[in-house]
Amino acid sequence: MGLIKITFDGSSVSAEQDASLNHHIVGLIPAGVIKGLGGQCSASVSNNYITFQSGYVQIYGRRMFIEAGSQVYVALDSSMYGAIVITVTLSNNTAVLGKIESSSPITLTQNDLLNGGNVYQFALCKYTKTTSSITLDSSYSPNLIVPSNQLANQAIASFQTKAEEMYGYSCVPTYNITASGKYRYVTCNKNYVKYCLIGIKFLDSVCYIPGMGLLQGSSFSATYSILNTNYTLFAEWLSDGRLCLTLADSTHKVYFIYLFNHGGTKS
């Protein structure tokens, strides 16, 4: 028991230690073909053989290399579903490229190799066969493990999209605002608008009301200004899901309604 040196000259690192580090470096992805190296294990069919281009595969941190031109023979002896798989078995320390076939769609054995599991099967391709042909399943493609910089860029892009959705703003233009005398009606998603600050644009001013203060059946008043004269409006949710604004005068025009989001989602 004690300190184990890993990245030092002369160190002895177990396969389990190495696999654990590799697994975490790629974002805990169980298995996949490493993107951008070799031919990414692309498959083709000819003369009863499925042939692969070169590529690297990682399964729970354990890496394997498929040599260009590697082939698996498929006998045309019946109509079956099939898959060409890499089967990793830790109990005997093997990794084997081969086929599995079944009369029904293929089910793979996929244990967690870092938490007591022993066998993991990763399909490089899937196919169907008859007594006269082999057809690769075009709807299936093996999972790809992307480089860490691309993984980070994907995470950043996802965060930016989420942040823009949850902390951006939207606008309800005039043509979506129904007018009837002093009343203005807008259909809004209540569960979304309750996270918004609602800005109501008049001729030369904007007044704000809190969406959270407008629960169904309640009302809220706010002051707005037109040409330096102050007026009061009332806002309330109607039972049919619309927001009703009652203005001080029927001639007052609402130009836009802005929804400034601060943490909600539109769904």
pLDDT in tens, 171-226: 888 888 999 999 999 888 777 787 888 899 999 999 998 887 776 556 788 999 99
- Of 118, 77, 125, 116, the closest CA to residue 97 belongs to 125
In 10 A of CB 173, how many CB atoms? 9
pLDDT tier for residue 35 given thresholds of 50, 70 and 90? very high
Q: In what order do the strands lie in the sheet with 178-180?
A: 178-180, 183-187, 242-246, 229-237, 219-226
Q: In what order do the strands lie in the sheet with 49-52?
A: 43-46, 49-52, 70-73
Return phi, psi of residue 191, to 5°: -65, -25
User: How many angstroms separate the CA atoms of 150 and 158, rounded?
Assistant: 12
Tokens of 192: 């979304």
Query: Residue 263 above 80 pLDDT?
Result: no
Query: Residue 52 above 90 pLDDT?
Result: yes
Residue 215: its pLDDT value, please?
62
Global pTM value: 0.66
Residue 67 is classified by DSSP as P
Q: Check if the beta carbon of residue 166 is closer than 8 Å to that of residue 265.
A: yes
Q: In what order do the strands lie in the sheet with 119-129?
A: 94-102, 80-89, 119-129, 134-136
- Of 259, 262, 82, 242, the closest CA to residue 177 belongs to 242
